[in-house]
Amino acid sequence: MLEISERTRNLGTENAFVVLKEVNELVREGKDIVNFCIGQPDFDTPEYIKEAAIKAIREGKTGYTPSPGIPELREAVAEYFSKTRNIDVKPEWVVVANGAKPFIAYTILTVTDYGRGDEVLYPNPGFPIYESQIRANGAVPVPLPLHESKGYAFDVEYLEKRITDKTKLLILNSPHNPTGGVLDRDILEQIADIVKRHDNLWVLSDEIYSRMVYDGEFVSIASFPGMQERTIIVDGVSKTYAMTGWRIGFAANEKLAQHLSRWVTNTDSCAGHPNQYAALAALTGPQDDAKRMFMSFRERREIIVEGLNRINGIKCLRPGGAFYAWPNVTEACRMLNIGDSEEFRRRLLYEAGVAVLSDIHFGFKIKGEGEHIRLSYATSEENIREGLRRIEEYIEDNRVK
């Protein structure tokens, strides 16, 4: 029999794509669905960025590039990281890849070995690819539960207790998908102090939403003394410049750059050549479009959070960043007499015409934290208002308690 490896059979996924398939089927059947599932800006890529890619294609910049990226982009990223993280990053420490996502696997591959019991700490709930890639690459996933009472940060003392001789990597993600939580300077400093007590502990800081912090400043853990050398800073153009399909992300670390680059050579060879010019234009060109999109997300945050909190049975913390709301729907589930957030999600999709994701799509349920769903507000104000109206009406019409 032609067999599929156990690793592949057990490979996780991003359930947003699975739910999206369900949504698309319903839409094809003619159903009207308000979609809050998609974690990508609903804006088009700004014109000056598209023009830069077209120009690059016309100039014949269509062959392979060096695996870590074109020198101009590595320089621009080094400058961007240095300025926004208040550190000194050299272009040689930067690697470009097809999105920020590949760096999750590359980093795990670079600092852990298969089947040796190497542990990786990661936020739960969290971007599902962390756990999936940790397992697929033969490391041991160790979830760090996030708590609503802490503004969706994890308990620093808990972190300290979970670090063992086998812990090789800590994954941080701030601003955070799916909660929108932001780790502030104080907690990052506490985390840095703990991490520094361990000689062989790397940090993967997934900062893909760094340009979407709505209150106060963005702080990278790499900016604390002694942290830059052990932190792999990851960011990209996907979210900031509405470029998810262009697939350009970047990472920086002095020691690991050469190794991450070899992983690029072993997988994709390099990131798309014209797309690298588009990313270069994005970082070095006028930032008005990025600012306009940011302002729009900030306004929508107010609308969605206020709207959710007006609905009976739903409570939502004000997310500090990214474009996700993570409301607590425990009471709504009770009112509807349904078991959990996943059943609530299904009922919203099939009976109310509203597509959301549930907490089980982002990891293990945490005891005592209740039921949550995720709504991406990277959708129009009109959609947000209509979606909230439908959810409210559905709860009112179907409540049994």
Nearest C-alpha neighbor of 212 from the set 18, 398, 377: 377
Give the separation between CA 130 and CA 171, rounded to whole angstroms. Answer: 8
CA 107 to centroid of chain Cα atoms: 16
Of all helices (H) and strands (E), which one includes residue 21? helix 15-28
The Cα–Cα gap between 244 and 247 comes to: 6
CB of 209 to ligand PLP, least distance (A): 7
CA contacts within 13 A on the Cβ side of 395: 20
Is there binding between residue 330 and ligand PLP (CB under 6 A)?
no
According to CB under 6 A, which residues from 223 to 252 bind ligand PLP? 236, 238, 244, 249
Distance CA 206, CA 103 (A): 9
The binding track of 193-222 with respect to ligand PLP, each residue x by CB under 6 A or -, is -------------x-x--------------
Cβ atoms within 10 A of the Cβ of 302, count? Answer: 12
Say whether residue 106 binds ligand PLP (CB under 6 A): no
Phi, psi (deg, nearest 5) at residue 146? -100, 145
Residue with tokens 């907490």: 359
Q: Which of 36, 80, 81, 127 binds ligand PLP (CB under 6 A)?
A: 127
Give the CB-side neighbour count of residue 207, counting CA atoms within 13 A: 25
For ligand PLP, which is the closer residue by CB, 15 or 244? 244
Residue closer to ligand PLP by CB (options 301, 390) is 301
Taking the complex as a whole, the smallest distance from the CB of residue 180 to ligand PLP amounts, in Å, to 11
- Asked whether position 356 contacts ligand PLP by CB under 6 A, the answer is no
Is 177 one of the binding residues for ligand PLP (CB under 6 A)? yes
> Could you tell me the smallest distance in angstroms from the CB atom of residue 219 to ligand PLP?
17
- DSSP label at residue 349: I
Cα within 13 Å of Cα(27), Cβ side? 11
Query: Interface with ligand PLP includes 272 (CB under 6 A)?
Result: no
Size of the site for ligand PLP (CB under 6 A): 13
Q: Which of 122, 2, 114, 15 is nearest to 342 (CA)?
A: 15
Site for ligand PLP contains 174 (CB under 6 A): no
132: contact with ligand PLP by CB under 6 A: no
Q: Does 361 bind ligand PLP (CB under 6 A)?
A: no
Given 101, 168, 211, 365, the residue binding ligand PLP (CB under 6 A): 101
Give residues 81-100 in contact with ligand PLP (rule: CB under 6 A): 99-100
By the criterion CB under 6 A, which residues form the site for ligand PLP? 39, 99-101, 127, 173, 177, 206, 208, 236, 238, 244, 249
